[in-house]
Amino acid sequence: MAKHRGRGVATINYPIGMNLGGDPSQALVHSNPTGKFTVALSSIDLGQGMKSVTRQICAETLGVPVEDVYVDTADSDTGPHCMGSFASRGTHRVGNAVMAAAREARAVMMEAAAEELEVDPGDLETDGRGAIQVKGAPHRSISVRDVAIAAQFKQGKTISGRGIFLVPLSDVNPETGEMSPATCYAHACLIAEVEVDDETGEVTVLKMTSAYELGRAINPKLVEQQLVGGTWMGMSHALYETPEPYYPDTREGPRDFNEYLMPGPGDICPHDIAVLERPAPDGPFGAKGPGEMCANPVLPAVANAIFNAVGVRIDELPITPEKILRALKARGGAAGAALPRAR
């Protein structure tokens, strides 16, 4: 038997938000009487970290500690409209809406503070630790808590803000396809290293190395979650998954997690990741979004690595050992693979 190693690469980009835009999201931010903030959304956290990302964006914008912000989602009676959690739109679209709402709330907070400190709001800054101080004179400061109490009970101000973010819907030229699909794109390059058993067609993914450009990583740990989990899913798409094993024939469809194949914890490999940040001009703090695109480069990178290892191209997903073995037999084994014929 012979096991052959190979490396494959893929470079991809991915549009952020719904194609053509037209997908608004709203946010409401308000303070309670003691200076703790609530973000009201109708956006969904299905594991990607929506609550946590918008929480950090809100705290940064308000200039308060993240512990002083809580994100409440998703209740249609209290949370304003959001198009939904898909199309890698959460961080970019909802993040921008939260930022706008937080800016509005911050302006009221600074006015209220200015009134208490008897200075011009423009002379004030937040210290990010729960206090508002006069620029250059940190001893002249007031806590956000006291500002909120004063605003509510003395000044009659609501420390609150509304935000919406909408990328206007783009037209599409039916003849040429001219359109504005997205305002920014994330990028990635992934290199996969595999080992192929030329007697059975079985593939082992040995290592992945990647660089992802995501605008701003609002939270590196959540980005890591997406990239590690997403590349696992990409590997799964590449080599394992299908609800129709004999597509386009619909027979033998899996009914459970024994029959629906996905890599187990014994099939995973080390993944060395670099994250680059080229801020998106219209992203919240330049953020784009890693959610969907992280899986995409893995499929072709693995396919190309298999070619590099044994010289066969499998252009139909999933790349099952059977397909590889059939191709190897058709080509008379792994050795002496010829370059694909170019016409």
Partner 1 sequence: MLELRKDIFADERDDNLKEVGKPTQRQDMLGHVTGTSAYYDDHRFANLLHLKILRSPHAHARIRSIDDAAAARAPGVKRIIRGADVPVNLNTLLSLIQFGKDDEPSLATDVVRYKGEPVVAVVATSERAALEALALIRVSYEPLPAVFDVEEALKPGAVSVNAAYPKNTFEYYNKYDHQKLRFGDADAAFAQADIVLDERYQMSPIEHAPTETNGSIAVPDTNGRFIVYTSTQALFFSLDTAAKINAMPSNQLHFIGGTVGGGFGGKVDTLTEPLAILAARLTGAPVRHRLSRHEEMQFGSPRGGERIYIKDGIMRDGRIIARKVRAYFDSGAYTRLSSYAAVKCAAHIPGPYTIPNVSADVYCVYTNRTPATAMRGFGVTALDFGLECQMDKGAVAVGMDPLEYRMLNAYRDGDMKAHRREAKNCALIECAQVAAEKASWPLRDEFRRMSSRTGGGVQRAGGGADRTRAPAPAPAPATRPAPVTPQRVSYERPAAAPAQSAPPPPPRTPSPPPAVQPAGSTHGAPRFSSVFGTRRR
Partner 2 sequence: MKTPVQFRLNGEEVAAFAESGANLLDVLRESVGDLSVKGGCWQGTCGTCTVLVDGAPRLSCITLAESCAGKSIETAGGLRRGAELHPLQSAFMERFAAQCGYCTPGMLMAAKALLDRNPNPSREEVVDAICGNICRCTGYEPIIAAVLDAARGDSRRRA
Partner 3 sequence: MSVTVKTFAKLADAAGALSSERNARFLAGGTLVMRALNEADPAIETVVRSTDPSFVNIAVSSGRIELGAGVTMAAILAERDLAFLHPVARAVGGPAVREAATVGGNLFAPSPYGDFAAALLALDATVTLAGSLGQREAPLEEFLGRRERNTSLVASVAFKRPAADAFRFVKVTRVHPKGVSVLSISAQLPLASGRLAGARIAYGAMARTPVRAKAAERALEGRGLDAAGIAAAVAVAADGTSPVDDAIASAWWRREILPVHLRRLLLGAGHA
Residues annotated as catalytic are 292
CB of 238 to partner 2, least distance (A): 14
Tell me which of partner 2, partner 3, partner 1, none is bound by residue 321, counting a contact when its beta carbon lies within the kind-specific cut-off of 5 to 8 angstroms.
partner 3
Number of C-beta neighbours around residue 148 at 10 A: 22
β-partners of residue 160 are 30
Q: Which two tokens stand for residue 327?
A: 């191709």
Closest by CA to 215, choosing from 50, 55, 92, is 92
Instruction: Give dist(CA 250, CA 242) in Å, integer.
Output: 11
Nearer to partner 1, 12 or 108 (CB): 12
Tell me which of partner 2, partner 1, partner 3, none is bound by residue 164, counting a contact when its beta carbon lies within the kind-specific cut-off of 5 to 8 angstroms.
none
**Binding positions for partner 1, 51-70, rule CB under 8 A:** 51-52, 55-57, 59-60, 63, 65-66, 70
Q: Which two tokens stand for residue 207?
A: 């290592």
Binding of partner 1 at residue 187 (CB under 8 A)? yes
List the one residue from 33, 47, 253, 270 that touches partner 3 (CB under 8 A).
253
List the one residue from 84, 240, 273, 331 that touches partner 3 (CB under 8 A).
240
Is the N-terminal amide bond of 24 cis, ω within 30° of 0?
no
| Interface pattern 263-302 for partner 2 (x via CB under 8 A) | -xxx-x--x-------------------------------
CA 273 and chain centroid, separation: 15
- How buried is residue 129: exposed, middle or buried, by Cβ count under 10 Å (0-12/13-18/19+)? exposed
Q: Are 151 and 112 in contact (CB under 8 A)?
A: yes
Q: Which stretch binds partner 3 (CB under 8 A): 24-32, 183-191, 192-200, 288-296?
A: 192-200
Binding site for partner 2 (CB under 8 A): 46-49, 221-222, 224-225, 228-233, 255-258, 262, 264-266, 268, 271
